[in-house]
Amino acid sequence: MSLSKSIIFSAIQPSGQLTLGNYIGTISHWMHMQDIYHCIYSIADLHAITVNQNKKLFRKNIFDTLALYLAVGVNPKKSIIFLQSEVQEHCQLNWILNCHTHFGELMRMTQFKKKSKVNSSNINIGLFNYPILMAADILLYQSHKVLVGKDQMQHVELVRDIAKRLNFLYGHIVTVPEVYIPNINGAKIMALLNPNNKMSKSDNNINNVIFLLDNHESILKKITRSVTDSDNKIFYDIKNKPGISNLLNIYSSLTGISIAVLENMLMNTTYKHFKLLVAQSISEKLLQLQEQFYYFKNKKNYLRDILDFGACVAKKQAKKTMKKIYNVLGL
């Protein structure tokens, strides 16, 4: 890695099919980042096992996630793409960071509180520890920026606190990363039937979620049925019109047209017609993506080679950071 470019880190957990939220919030920006930053894109499989996974389906989800990374234009010659579990240093650093994070800090994490409610029969320590493993992911690579959606901001804030604590105790040993949200309108895409909740891979109701591999009929059906309001006026008001505001966020993110311009353009448009426009814009993007996805999905050996190469390069950088940290700790 040359020192001229900053390092940006981003990751997705392969805990299910990727969603329109993942696309708009993160991976749709990854290709362009490659010309500006040293990009490190991980498949966070260790994060996904806080929930019990079916082995066969899990392997499929891991490789589908990789094929989607390639389909959005991530180039393995420009970016490091790797599977988290194949670089053992993540777990090694995780333990050290456990010893530098306070119980109270983790107790404040809203995602832990929410996930414990949903997953009340399996509130495991991994779920509690989840943001510390994220800290290990980010700090191992001395990342300057972390590209995430809004729901991950609190976790990255915690990572910053941990990094500052390490530097305070041991001198400058890790880079304090910044949160990077490329497009604020797309930073939190909401569930279609319940626009007060985030659109999520693990939603029990598939009608809340557009999956990246959905076909046009399914997209049209889900958008047509999405919950709005009854006043038939299209403008942005997240509090009183969360459904319409969510559709505006989606449409603006996919077309690149600002919300203010859209409000003007859509002044005399009915909700029915607006929903058609939104569904069309999603289908156009996703059909292109799916074509690329199926092309890469079938190249099994190529996908395996990318992960082998990525793990090898990532390991080199990870080992450097671990050596530094072991040294200051006297390990």
The answer to whether 188 contacts ligand TYM (rule: CB under 6 A) is: yes
Q: Based on CB atoms, which residue is closest to ligand TYM, 105 or 233?
A: 105
The answer to whether 86 contacts ligand TYM (rule: CB under 6 A) is: no
Q: Is 198 a catalytic residue?
A: yes
**Would you state the structure tokens that stand for residue 66, as one six-digit string?**
């990789």
The answer to whether 44 contacts ligand TYM (rule: CB under 6 A) is: yes
Q: Is 201 a catalytic residue?
A: yes
Q: Is 56 a catalytic residue?
A: no
Q: Where does this chain touch ligand TYM (CB under 6 A) — which range of 7-15, 116-124, 164-172, 293-301?
A: 7-15
* Shortest distance, position 275 Cβ to ligand TYM, whole Å: 19
Q: Where does this chain touch ligand TYM (CB under 6 A) — which range of 10-18, 53-61, 102-110, 302-310?
A: 10-18
Question: Mask: binding to ligand TYM, 15-34, rule CB under 6 A, as x and -?
Answer: ------xx-xxx--------
Q: 228-240: b or e for each residue (b if 16 or more CB lie within 10 Å)?
A: beeeeebbeeeee
* Shortest distance, position 231 Cβ to ligand TYM, whole Å: 25
The answer to whether 199 contacts ligand TYM (rule: CB under 6 A) is: yes
The structure tokens 């490091």 sit at 80
* Shortest distance, position 40 Cβ to ligand TYM, whole Å: 9
Of 201, 222, 285, 297, which one is the catalytic site residue?
Answer: 201
Strand 38-43 to strand 7-12: parallel, antiparallel, or no bridges (unpaired)? Answer: parallel
The answer to whether 138 contacts ligand TYM (rule: CB under 6 A) is: yes
Q: Based on CB atoms, which residue is closest to ligand TYM, 51 or 277?
A: 51
Phi/psi zone of residue 325: left (φ > 0), alpha (ψ -120 to 50 degrees), beta? alpha
Question: Mask: binding to ligand TYM, 148-187, rule CB under 6 A, as x and -?
Answer: xx-xx----------------------------------x
Strand 178-180 to strand 38-43: parallel, antiparallel, or no bridges (unpaired)? Answer: unpaired
Number of C-beta neighbours around residue 101 at 10 A:
18
Of 145, 198, 222, 285, which one is the catalytic site residue?
Answer: 198
* Interface ranges with ligand TYM (CB under 6 A): 9-13, 21-22, 24-26, 44, 47, 134, 137-138, 146, 148-149, 151-152, 187-189, 198-199
